[in-house]
Structure 1
Amino acid sequence: MLRPRSIAIIGASDDPTRIGGRPLSYLKTRGFAGAILPVNPNRATVQGLPAFRDVASLPQAPDAAIIAIPGEGAIAAAESLAARGCKAAITFTAGFAEVGPEGAAMQERLVAAGRRHGMRIVGPNCLGLFNAPLGYFPIFSASVEQGWIPGVVGIASQSGAYGSHLFAAARARGIGVPVLVTTGNEADLHLADFIEWMAAADEVKVIAAYAEGIRDGARFVQALEAARLARKPVVMMKVGRSAVGEAAAQSHTASIAGDDRVLDAVLEEFGVHRARTTEELLDVCYVAQKRIYPVGNTLGVVTISGGAGVLIADAAEAAGLPMPEMPLDAQARLKALVPFSSPRNPVDCTAQAFNDMKVVGAFAESMATDGGYTSLIAFFTAWGDSPSMTPPLRAELKQVLDRHPDRLFLLSILASPERTREWEADGFLVMEDPTRAVVALSAMGRFGESFERLPRSGWEVGHLDLPAQAPDEAEAKRILAEAGVPSVPERACRSADEAVAAALEFGFPVVAKILSPDILHKNEIGGVLLNLADEGAVRDGFATLMARAAERAPDARIEGVLVAKQVRDAVEMAIGVVRDPVFGPVAMVGLGGVFIEVFRDVAFRRCPVDEDEALAMIRALRGFPLLDGARGRPKADVPALARALAALSRFGMQKRVLSAEVNPLMVLPEGQGALAADAVIELD
C-alpha cells in the first residue's frame, strides 16, 4: 500500500486534471521509480504511457492499484485485481456506505472481493495517499501540486479534504510531511492500521491524526501503544461529540459517560496530545520535530518585557508546565549584572540589552546552566527582525544553544519568513505567540513522561458468580463486597420488627431505604429516609417507605426495606464502571451523591486500573481538596478510595457486567476506610 514497486490505475485518464488523471501525472512528475500501469479500455496510451484494456491484460500483477471508476465497475475491478495477485487497493470511488443502506451493501461486496484473495483496501470514498520520498502519489488532491518539503511528520486522516488541508498547512508552516494517508469510509483498513504502520516506519518520527470516530477501540489502543513504545509522539484532532446512549446502562455513571470523555482518557493513557485546533496541532508537530521530550519538563523565560513574562507565566500555569524560580545565588549574580533586572523567572533583562547584547547571552546562559530548565522561551518581539539588533542577538543566543543542544529553545519574535528561516537554520524554534509556544512545549514533557512508562502488565481479574438478573441493592453490595468494595453494616428487612432489630444492633441513627431491583434511583420517589434516631422513627419509616413504593412505583418489585448504619464525617464519592461501546469497560470516579451529574467532576480510565492509576484519577478531580483536608476538614482515607476503585474496575471486566456503580461511597477519615452506602449492578 505504501511502498509498492508497481501500481495500476483503473480508470486512468489522459486529462491530468481529472480524478483518474491526477495521480498518474503526479507519479510521473514526482519520479516514482516503479512500474505505472494505466488501465483504460478506450485508449492505447494515457499521458504518454501504454494503456491496458483491463486488469487481465496487465503484464504483471501490480503491488498496488488505484480504483477510480464508479459503482459496480469498482467492485468488479477489486475482484479482478485481487484474483490477479494485487495486494493493496486505493479506492477513490464514492457512493458506498456514506450514501445509505444500498451503498453499505455494495461496500461489503467490495471488501469481500478483496478478502477472498488477500487484498487490503483503503477507502472507498478516499482521497488517496502518498509516500513522498518514493515519488509515490496515488492521490487526486490538488494540494500536492505545490510540491513537498522533506520532514518527519506523518499524517493519517479519516477525512480526505481535511487531511490534505493539514498537509498543505504544514508545508506552509515549513513542516515536512513525507507520508499522508486518507482512509475514507474505512471499509477495511482503519486509521489505527496506518498509525501503527507509521509507528514502525523510518519515514515518520511524529504522527498527526484526524478522526471523526473510532471504529475499533482495541485496534486503536494497540496502535497508540505501538507509537508510544517506538517513542513517536501522536498529535490528534478528534471532532464530534456523542453520548454513549441510554441503552448502554441507566446508572449515573452511564448517563455522564460519553465516547468523547472516554476518548480523552484513552488518549491521556497513551500520552497522545489532543489538539483542539489545526493551529495547535501544527504547533505541537512543529516543536516535536526536534525530538526532544524532557521528563520532568520545566520552563524558563528570558524576556525584555515584564508584561510578556506575566502572560507566559499565566499560560504555563494553565498548561501545567512548572516554572521554578532561579536559584538564589544565580539571581544575585544576575542582579549584580543588571541591578534593575527581575531575575526570578520569568527573568526580565530589561532594555539594558540595547546597550550591551552580551547581557542577553549572560542571562540566557544562566537560565540554562544555573536554572537547568529543559524548555526555554526567549521573548524579544521585533528585535528578531531588526537590522541593528538581530545580528548581535543571534550571535549571543546561538552560543547558548550550541552549548545546550538538549534543550528546547524557542524564540517568541516577530520576523519575516526569510528571517524566521535563518533563526530556524541556527537550530531555534520560532513562534510569534508565546502562549501557543507554552502549549506546544508542555506537550513535549508529557510525551517524554509517557515514553518512560512501562507497559501494562498482566492482570488477574478473577471470576465471581453473578445472578441471572440484575440484583437489588443489598445483593449488589454483597457481590461488590466479595469483589473488594466493602459496604456499610446493613440488613434487608421484611417487617417493621426486623427493621427495629437491625437498628438496635447497628446503633442509632440509621438510614432506611426501599429495597427493589426495579428502582435504581430511590431518592426520586422519596425512597430514602435519614437520621432515624429511635425505634418509633424506624417503625414509622418502614411504613412510610412501603406506602410510597406502592403509590409512586406500583409496578416495581418491592422486597422490603434496607436498614443501614448511618455513616458520619465522611466525604461522599461515586465510583463506577460502564461498558463503552468502543473501548469496553471504563472506570469512573467523581464527587458522589446527586452532585455527580450537576458538577460532572469525574475522571475516566480503561479497566482495569491498579491502585496507583486509581490514585492518579482521584487526584485529577477538581474536588480533590475535599478529600485532602480543605478548610480544616480531616483528611479522608484516599488510599481506601483507590483500593475500592481498583477493585470495582476489576469487577467491571466480568463479561456480563454492563455497568456497576457505588454512589455514594462514604470515604471516612484517614485510616478508617471507605464504605459503599448504595450500589447498582446492571447485567447482560
Structure 2
Amino acid sequence: MKTDTGPADVGLVTDRADAPGPGRPALDLGPLFAPRSIALIGASATAGSYSSRSLTNLRRTGYSGSIFPVNPRYTEIDGLPCYPTVGQIGQAVDAAMILVRSELVHDAVRDCVAAGVKVITVCSAGFAEEGAAGHDRQRELVELARAGGSRLVGPNCIGAASVVDRVVACATLNITETFTPGSISIVSQSGGMAVNLFNRAQGRGVGIRGFVSVGNEADLDVAQLVEALADDEQTRVIALFIEELRDVPAFRAAVSKAHRQGKPVLVLKAGRSEAGARSSLSHTGALAGSHALFSSVMTQLGVLEVDSVDTLIDTADLLARVDPPASNRLLIVSPSGGECSYAADRASELGLRVPALSETTVEALSQGMRFGAPSNPFDLTGQVIGNAEFLRDVLGELERADEFDLVLYAIPTWSAHDAERLLPGFIAAAEASTKPTVISAWTATDLTERSEQVLAAGSAAHFGSVDAALSALAHLARWAEMHRTLGFGGADPEADPEADLEARTDRSAPAPRPTGLPELPTEHQAKSFLREHGLDTPREVLVSDRDTTADAAAGIGWPLVAKQLCEGVVHKSDLGLVRVGVRDQTDLDRALDEFDGIVTENGLVPEGLLLSELHRGLEVILGGVRDPQFGPMVMIGAGGILAELLDDTVFRSCPLGASDAEAALDELSVGRLLRGYRAVEYDRPALVDLIVRFSELFAGADWLDQADLNPVLVAESPHQGAVIVDAALVLTPPSKE
C-alpha cells in the first residue's frame, strides 16, 4: 500500500545558490494572508492524504474565498469543480499551493505564472535540501516565478495561515481549529516549528495575526517577510524561528524598518550548541562560535533573542499588549510573603531592579495596614483575604507611586473561592495601570481551573508561573533599553541607525596588504602594522642576539618586558617565553637563560628577542574575525590569560561607532569595572577610541582573517591611554583573496 507522506521537513541547506537579488519584486502580503482565491495544484480526493489536507483546512476553518482544486485526474473534489490546469480555471487566482511530486513542480509553477498567480507556495520537497542537483532545480523555479512577477514561498514548506483573515493554507492537519486573533506574526524556516508555535500560542489564548513557513527560502525569505510585516497594520510584534540567516544585510535593513515602525522583532534560533571552535590560532577564533556571533549581532541590531518556545510566545504576547517601560524598576505585590521573596530573587537574577518604596508611598500605605510594613516586594499578608476594598485601596495607591515602571502581581494557587473574590481586583488594576503590569497565577490541575478562567476573561497579561512572568518582563525591559540605545523612538524621530551604520562603513577605507607581511606575522611585525595605522603600542626594540640587549634595554628603560619570539609560536606566555617587570641586566640575563632552555627543550626556531616598555592597567582583549555569514566582527572582553576562561566577551559587526563600543562594554563585567570601582578610574574613553579605530581598520583590511590584541592594557588613571601590549594577526593566503 502506498502511503502519501508529503514533503519532508528537513534541515535547511547552508549554501544558497539562488540567493535573493535586486530582481525580486516587492512583496504584497494580501495574496499571502488574505487571498480572494486559492488554487490547490495536485489536490486529492483521498481523505486524509497529504494532497487533500490543504483543502480540508480551508473548508473546516471557514475560508470565505474561492477554492479551485487542480488535478487532471478529477473533474470534482468535495463538491468543487476540479480543473486540469490553473490556466483553465478561467478567472483570476491570487494564490496557489503546489502539492505535487518535485518532478512536476516546474510545470505547475510555469502554469501559475502564465495565469498571473501572485503568490505560489511550493510545499513539495526535493530541491536545494538534496544537494547540487536540487539547487539547480530550485534556481529554475525562482527564474520562472520572477520572469512573470510572481512570488514564490518555499519549496519544502508547510504553507501559511492568517487568523485575522481566517485563511489556513497549510499542508498539515496538525493545526488547531480554535483561533484567537491578535497582532503577533510568526515567520519560521521550519514548517513543523511554525505549526508548533502557532498551536501552542492559540492553545494558551495568545493572539496571533498569522504565520508563514518559508522552507528553503528560494525567493521569499525571512528578511523580506520582516520588511513586509513592518508595514502590515495587523502586525505589532514579529516572532521568528530560524536555523540560519541567509541574507544578513537585508535582514539588518528589515529589522531597522520594523523598529522605526515601533515593532519589536524576537528570534528563537535553533542550533545554538557549539560542535567545535573555529580555530586555535587566536583567542578570538577560539571564542567565535557561530552562536556567539549570532547573539551579538542580534543585540547590535536590537533583535530580542529568547531561548525557548514558551519564552518566545510569552514575550511576544507581552510586547503585543503593552508599551515599552521607561526603566527596569519592578514592583512586586503578592498575598504570600514567601512568594514575594522568591519573585524578588528571580527578578534580580534576570537583571530587573526591585527598588525600595519612597517614604511618601510607605506613609500612604501604612495607614490601612494592620499587619506588616509596606515595602517592595509588597506582602499584602492575610489581610487581603476577604477584603476586596483593602486590595483596591492598596493597588490604587501603588499605581500613583513613581518609583517603579513595571508591576508584577504574584498570585498563589487559588481555588475558585479566592479567585472569584480577589482576582477581579488584580485584573482591574492591571487593566487600568499606566505601566506594564502582569499577573502570575500558579496553575495546579483540579484546583486552579476557575482562576485560569477568570484571568482568561480579562484583558490583563497573565502567566502560569512567577518565572514565566518575570522572564517576559525582563525581556520587555531589555528590548526597551535596546530600543533606546539604538536611537529608535527617541527624541529625534527622523534618526535612522541604518543610515548611521552606512556612514560608519564609509569610514572604513580599504587598507592595502603590506608587502612582505607573512600569513602569520611575529608580534613585532603585527604591532608595527598596527602602529602604522595609528593604534597605540609600547616602545619596543627587536634584537637578534644577547650582545645587543644592554644598549636596547637602556633605550627602553627599566623595568621592562622581555619576550622570546619563535617561528610559529603565537601564545608565547603558554610556553613561558614572556617576562614582565625585568628590573635590570642581571634579571634580564637570567630570563634569557630560561628562554634558551625552553627553546631547546621544545625544538623551537628563535626569531629574535623583543624588549618592550612596561605598561600596567586592566587587561582587555580586542579581536577581529571574518565570518562568512556576518562579515567582519570585532570581539571585546576580559583579556590576558583569562580571555578563554571567563565568559565575558561580546562580538559586534564592524565598523563600530563610539556609542556602539560603549554599549558593547556595558554588556561586560570588565566593561562595568572600567567605569570605575573603589576609587580606581580607568581610561575608558581611550579604550572606546581604540575599539572604534581598530574596528575601522579591520573592516577595511579584507585580507586580514583574524586578529588578537591581547592584552590591551587600560591605564588606571584618566587620560593615560589604552595600549596594545601583544598582538597576533592571521592573514588570508594571497590565493584566497
Distance 2:239 2:607 in 1: 56
Name the structure 2 match of 1:445.
477
Extract unaligned runs of 5+ from structure 1: none
What amino acid sits opposite 1:679 in the alignment? A
SS in 2 for 1:143: coil
Deviation at 1:676, TM superposition (A): 0.7
Deviation at 1:169, TM superposition (A): 0.8
Q: Within the alignment, does 1:585 sit opposite 2:635 as a pair?
A: no
Superposed CA offset, 1:135-164 (max 9, x none)? 332211223352422111111111111210
Say if 2:57 and 2:173, in contact at 8 Å, map to a contact too: no
Distance 1:633 1:546 in 2: 42
Name the structure 1 match of 2:270.
239
SS in 1 for 2:535: coil
Name the structure 2 match of 1:386.
416
Say if 2:278 and 2:289, in contact at 8 Å, map to a contact too: no
What amino acid sits opposite 2:538 in the alignment? V
Name the structure 1 match of 2:735.
none
Say if 1:500 and 1:539, in contact at 8 Å, map to a contact too: no
Name the structure 2 match of 1:647.
693
TM-aligned CA distance change 1:291 to 1:506, over 3 Å: same
Name the structure 2 match of 1:179.
210
* Residue of 325, 347, 359 corresponding to 1:294: 325
Deviation at 1:274, TM superposition (A): 2.2
Distance 1:465 1:550 in 2: 38
TM-aligned CA distance change 1:52 to 1:524, over 3 Å: same
Name the structure 1 match of 2:44.
13
Say if 1:485 and 1:647, in contact at 8 Å, map to a contact too: yes
TM-aligned CA distance change 1:651 to 1:249, over 3 Å: farther
Name the structure 1 match of 2:188.
157
TM-aligned CA distance change 1:627 to 1:394, over 3 Å: closer
Say if 1:484 and 1:644, in contact at 8 Å, map to a contact too: no
Give the stretch that moved more between structures: 119-128 or 451-460. Answer: 451-460
State TM-score, norm by structure 1: 0.91
Name the structure 1 match of 2:362.
331
Deviation at 1:133, TM superposition (A): 2.9
* Residue of 38, 43, 50 corresponding to 2:69: 38
Say if 1:473 and 1:517, in contact at 8 Å, map to a contact too: no
What amino acid sits opposite 2:709 in the alignment? V
Distance 2:207 2:672 in 1: 45
* Residue of 561, 570, 577 corresponding to 2:609: 561
Distance 1:278 1:445 in 2: 19
SS in 2 for 1:379: strand
Show the 5 A alignment for 1:329-408.
329-354=360-385, 356-383=387-414, 385-387=415-417, 389-394=418-423, 396-397=425-426, 400-401=429-430, 403-408=432-437
Say if 1:607 and 1:650, in contact at 8 Å, map to a contact too: yes
Say if 1:55 and 1:80, in contact at 8 Å, map to a contact too: yes
Extract unaligned runs of 5+ from structure 2: 1-30, 488-495, 733-737
SS in 1 for 2:640: coil
* Residue of 284, 306, 314 corresponding to 2:337: 306
Equivalent pairs counted in the alignment come to 678
Name the structure 1 match of 2:302.
271
TM-aligned CA distance change 1:234 to 1:351, over 3 Å: same
SS in 2 for 1:179: strand
TM-aligned CA distance change 1:390 to 1:32, over 3 Å: closer
Show the 5 A alignment for 1:457-468.
457=500, 458-459=503-504, 460-468=507-515
SS in 2 for 1:337: coil
Name the structure 1 match of 2:722.
674
Say if 1:496 and 1:543, in contact at 8 Å, map to a contact too: no
TM-aligned CA distance change 1:74 to 1:504, over 3 Å: same
Aligned alpha-carbon RMSD (Å): 2.9
Deviation at 1:231, TM superposition (A): 1.4
Distance 1:221 1:677 in 2: 35
Give the stretch that moved more between structures: 542-551 or 396-405. Answer: 542-551
Distance 2:318 2:188 in 1: 21
TM-aligned CA distance change 1:56 to 1:636, over 3 Å: same
Name the structure 1 match of 2:53.
22
* Residue of 109, 127, 135 corresponding to 1:78: 109
TM-aligned CA distance change 1:320 to 1:576, over 3 Å: same
Distance 2:454 2:428 in 1: 15
Q: Within the alignment, does 1:658 sit opposite 2:687 as a pair?
A: no
What amino acid sits opposite 2:416 in the alignment? S
SS in 1 for 2:175: helix
Give the stretch that moved more between structures: 238-247 or 671-680. Answer: 238-247
Say if 1:492 and 1:515, in contact at 8 Å, map to a contact too: no
Distance 2:40 2:279 in 1: 45
Name the structure 2 match of 1:474.
524
Deviation at 1:575, TM superposition (A): 0.7
What amino acid sits opposite 2:212 in the alignment? V
Deviation at 1:247, TM superposition (A): 6.5
What amino acid sits opposite 1:640 in the alignment? A
State TM-score, norm by structure 2: 0.85
Deviation at 1:106, TM superposition (A): 3.2
Give the stretch that moved more between structures: 620-629 or 668-677. Answer: 620-629
Deviation at 1:653, TM superposition (A): 0.9
SS in 1 for 2:410: strand
Say if 1:298 and 1:374, in contact at 8 Å, map to a contact too: yes
Deviation at 1:269, TM superposition (A): 2.5
What amino acid sits opposite 1:636 in the alignment? Y
Deviation at 1:339, TM superposition (A): 4.2
Distance 1:287 1:98 in 2: 36
TM-aligned CA distance change 1:379 to 1:598, over 3 Å: closer
What amino acid sits opposite 1:564 in the alignment? S
